[in-house]
C-alpha cells in the first residue's frame, strides 16, 4: 500500500523539532524541518488514532523566516533540527514550545514564560563532539533518516578545534562504542572513549591530546595526560572530568547562572540546598550570595572536581544519590536549587523535596517535558509557578534549557 501524501497548512510548533498541521479525519500531523505558517507536501510514515508523523516532501509556500542551512549533512544527520530557520525565529519557536508543554503536561494555561535568551554564539559553540563508529569504521553521528551512524566531515555548530582533532586523530579500537572529544578554554584537548571491555586503545594524534576511558559509572581513568579539561563560566575556571556533564556553550551557561541567582533572590542570610550539583558550577556562585550551601552529587569524579573548583568555606558537599543522602541530613532550606538529568526527579526525590517545604524552588532543566511534569507535581504540593526563563544553550537544535521559579503559596 502506497504511503499517503497530503498537502498541509502548518500552524503551530511542537516539542521535538516539528511544526504541526491538521489533516482529514481530525488528525494532527507533525512534520520536521518546517516552520509554522508554511504550506507543505508531506508523506505520512507513522499514524496513530488522532495524530501522525510525516516526512517533508516539498515546501509549497515557504515562510519568510526560512533560510539556507549551513551544513551539507542537515536533514540527514540527527544533530541539528532548526538550521532552516532564521535565528530569531528559532528563539520564538522555543518559547512557544515551552508554553505548549506547560499547558499539555504541566496543566498551566498561558504559563509565565519570558522571551528566550539568545546565545551570543549561535554557531561553532559546542565544546564537545560525541562520535560513534560507522559500519566501515569511520566516525560520525547517528542518522534518524538512514537508521545508522553516518560519517561526517563538517559540523558548523562545533568548535573548529574539535573538527581538526577528529580529522587528525588515529584510533584503533575494535570495541569502541563512543568517542567524545572536548576542548577546554585553555585550548587543551581531551578524547574520552567508551568501549566494550576496558582494553586501552591504540591512539595517535599529530598534536597534544589527553585520553581517558569513561567507565560505566561515568567515572574516568586517564591513559594519556589529564582526564579533565578546564572550562570558564563567567570568568571563573572549573575542572570538568571526562565522565561529567560539560556545558555545551559556556556563553549560554553564564545566562543559566544569572537566572538561577536572580530567581534564588539571595540576600546573604539563606540556606540553599542544591541537588545534582555536578562539578559545582552553580554551587560556586550560590555560595557567594548565600549564608551556606548544602550540595548533593552522585558522580564521584564530579564530587572530586567540586572540591577543586570551590574556594568557599560555607559549602557542605555530600557524595551519593539524592534518595540516599537527603534522609540522612537535617536541613530546612530556604531555597532549593535542582538541576536533574533529563529524566527529571524520581517520585522518591519529589516526596523528599515536598517534606522540606522550601520557600522557593529554582529548577534548571534541559528537557521541557520532564520540567513540566515535575512542576505540575510541585504545584499540586502547594507551589505557584512564578516564571520560566528559556535559554538557548543549543542553537540550531530543538533543545531548549529552562530555569523555572516556584514559590510556596503560604510562604
| 21-64 pLDDT per residue, tens | 999 888 999 999 999 999 999 999 999 889 999 999 999 999 99
What's the full length of the chain, in residues?
Answer: 411
Strand partners of residue 252:
none
* Residue appearing with cell numbers 511534569: 373
Q: How confident is the model at residue 206 (pLDDT cuts 50, 70, 90)?
A: low
pLDDT score at 214:
81
* Residue appearing with cell numbers 567524545: 180
What is the C-alpha separation between 396 and 83, in angstroms, rounded? Answer: 5
Residue 254 to residues 119, 197, 273, 374, 392: CA-CA distances in angstroms? 10, 38, 20, 24, 11
pLDDT score at 325:
96
What is the C-alpha separation between 93 and 198, in angstroms, rounded? Answer: 44
What topology does CATH give the domain 95-120+249-408?
Answer: Rossmann fold (3.40.50)
The kind and range of the H/E element at 303 are helix 300-309
| 88-106 pLDDT per residue, tens | 999 999 999 999 999 999 9
What topology does CATH give the domain 128-232?
Answer: OB fold (Dihydrolipoamide Acetyltransferase, E2P) (2.40.50)
CATH code 1.10.150.20 for 1-66: no
Could you tell me the pTM of the whole model? 0.93
Domain ranges of the chain: 1-66, 95-120+249-408, 128-232
Q: How confident is the model at residue 148 (pLDDT cuts 50, 70, 90)?
A: very high
Q: How confident is the model at residue 2 (pLDDT cuts 50, 70, 90)?
A: confident
Cell numbers found for residue 194: 567508551
pLDDT at residue 205 greater than cutoff 60: no
Decide whether 1-66 matches 128-232 in CATH topology.
Answer: yes
What is the pLDDT of the chain when averaged over all its residues?
92
* Residue appearing with cell numbers 567507565: 215
Contact 241, 218 (CB under 8 A): no
| 114-138 pLDDT per residue, tens | 999 999 999 999 999 999 888 887 8
Contact 138, 175 (CB under 8 A): no
Burial of 190 (0-12, 13-18, 19+ CB in 10 A): buried
What is the C-alpha separation between 355 and 332, in angstroms, rounded? Answer: 9
| 250-302 pLDDT per residue, tens | 999 999 999 999 999 999 999 999 999 999 999 999 999 999 999 999 999 99
Residue 228 to residues 211, 247, 329: CA-CA distances in angstroms? 9, 13, 31
Return the biggest CA–CA distance within the chain.
Answer: 69
Rg, the chain, Cα only? 22
What is the C-alpha separation between 106 and 344, in angstroms, rounded? Answer: 13
Amino acid at each position: 500500500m502506497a504511503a499517503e501524501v497530503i498537502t498541509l497548512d502548518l500552524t503551530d510548533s511542537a516539542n521535538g523539532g516539528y511544526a504541526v498541521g491538521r489533516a482529514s479525519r481530525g488528525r494532527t500531523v507533525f512534520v520536521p524541518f518546517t516552520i509554522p505558517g508554511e504550506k507543505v507536501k508531506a508523506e505520512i510514515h507513522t499514524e496513530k488514532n488522532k495524530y501522525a508523523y510525516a516526512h517533508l516532501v516539498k515546501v509549497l509556500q515557504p515562510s519568510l523566516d526560512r533560510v539556507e542551512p549551513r551544513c551539507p549533512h542537515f536533514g540527514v544527520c540527527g544533530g541539528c533540527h532548526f538550521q532552516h530557520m532564521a535565528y530569531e525565529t528559532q528563539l520564538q519557536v522555543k518559547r512557544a514550545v515551552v508554553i505548549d508543554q506547560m499547558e499539555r503536561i504541566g496543566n498551566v494555561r498561558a504559563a509565565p514564560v519570558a522571551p528566550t535568551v539568545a546565545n551570543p554564539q549561535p554557531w561553532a559553540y559546542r565544546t564537545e563532539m560525541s562520535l560513534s563508529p560507522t559500519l566501515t569504521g569511520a566516525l560520525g553521528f547517528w542518522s534518524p533518516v538512514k537508521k545508522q551512524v553516518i560519517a561526517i566531515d563538517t559540523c558548523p555548530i562545533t568548535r573548529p578545534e574539535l573538527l581538526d582533532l577528529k580529522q587528525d586523530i588515529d584510533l584503533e579500537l575494535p570495541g569502541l562504542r563512543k568517542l567524545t572529544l572536548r576542548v577546554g578554554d585553555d585550548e587543551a584537548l581531551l578524547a574520552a572513549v567508551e568501549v566494550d571491555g576496558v582494553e586501552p586503545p591504540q591512539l595517535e594524534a599529530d598534536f597534544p591530546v589527553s585520553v581517558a576511558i569513561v567507565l560505566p559509572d561515568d567515572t574516568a581513568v586517564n591513559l594519556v595526560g589529564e582526564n579533565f579539561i578546564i572550562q570558564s563560566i563567567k570568568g571563573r575556571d572549573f575542572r570538568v572530568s571526562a565522565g561529567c556533564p560539560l556545558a555545551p556553550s559556556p556563553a549560554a551557561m553564564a545566562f543559566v547562572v544569572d537566572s538561577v541567582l536572580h530567581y534564588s533572590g539571595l540576600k546573604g542570610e539563606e540556606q540553599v540546598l542544591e541537588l545534582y550539583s555536578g562539578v559545582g558550577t552553580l554551587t560556586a556562585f550560590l555560595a557567594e550570595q548565600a549564608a551556606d550551601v548544602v550540595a548533593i552529587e552522585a558522580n564521584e569524579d564530579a564530587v572530586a572536581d567540586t572540591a577543586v573548583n570551590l574556594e568557599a568555606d560555607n559549602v557542605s558537599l555530600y557524595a551519593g544519590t539524592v534518595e540516599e543522602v537527603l534522609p540522612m541530613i537535617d536541613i530546612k532550606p530556604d531555597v532549593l536549587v535542582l538541576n536533574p538529568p533529563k529524566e527529571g526527579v524520581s517520585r522518591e526525590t519529589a516526596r523528599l523535596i515536598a517534606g522540606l517545604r522550601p520557600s522557593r524552588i529554582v529548577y534548571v532543566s534541559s528537557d521541557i517535558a520532564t520540567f513540566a511534569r515535575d512542576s505540575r507535581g510541585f504545584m499540586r504540593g502547594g507551589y505557584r509557578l512564578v516564571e520560566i526563563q528559556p535559554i538557548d544553550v543549543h542553537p540550531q537544535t530543538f533543545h531548549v534549557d529552562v530555569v523555572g521559579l516556584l514559590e510556596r503559596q503560604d510562604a
